[in-house]
Structure 1
């Protein structure tokens, strides 16, 4: 499991929450974007080492919603989407993996909704090195 699984879970949750969502972009938006759309940005990554090739990861995200409404109704559309996101973004999941959403916060800046949250999970890096080697012993018994 890695960051790609997490991005898929966020995209799936956005599509379930926002009817008529055209696209979910990752890290940047093209010039000819289709509205309404979502941009998912990684704000920060906080790793902490654990035992046995495990690493605890805290990923913080800024999910930005770009509304399709006319300029005078964009803020209202953002408020509606904000309420739906706050109702649904508790546990997100994709490919039978679930993530608990924490530290949720929202703001609307320049008619764009910013939904901020973090997710904590553990990564395991498998190695091909043998964990133990055979020990050869030579025991002679005297009688």
Structure 2
């Protein structure tokens, strides 16, 4: 059976992970400092954007007691945070030139839940470097969640 969006109707979004042990770059060191509550915010943002970006698709949060009903029609979405900068809205607004930049970067991986067949894997990055009001943390988080959902949609052939 070809792997397409039409084959699936639900995505289980796992809590994205970070390296806690061996650090091999300054980006991984920054990612390792991401607060646990920010990881939960990312999980909710990604899950919230999936139904909006992929018509007919539902999303569930892994670890919250409710999963998708049919593993054959379920995508498990995981992510490994490879870089994170909290950023500073005031610096983005008043200084500009990249000061206070916010960044989320993840290697996302989508597999069929029933057998672990790889559907998609790739890096997704969102940056906030300016804007007339400097962008805020919630906007950056929502934009990142949207980019991950769009990555998933584009990674699967669509017959919808």
Q: Normalized against structure 2, the TM-score is what? A: 0.33
Bigger share in helix:
2
| More RCO (CA 8 Å, sep 6+) | 2
Q: Normalized against structure 1, the TM-score is what? A: 0.36
Bigger share in strand:
1
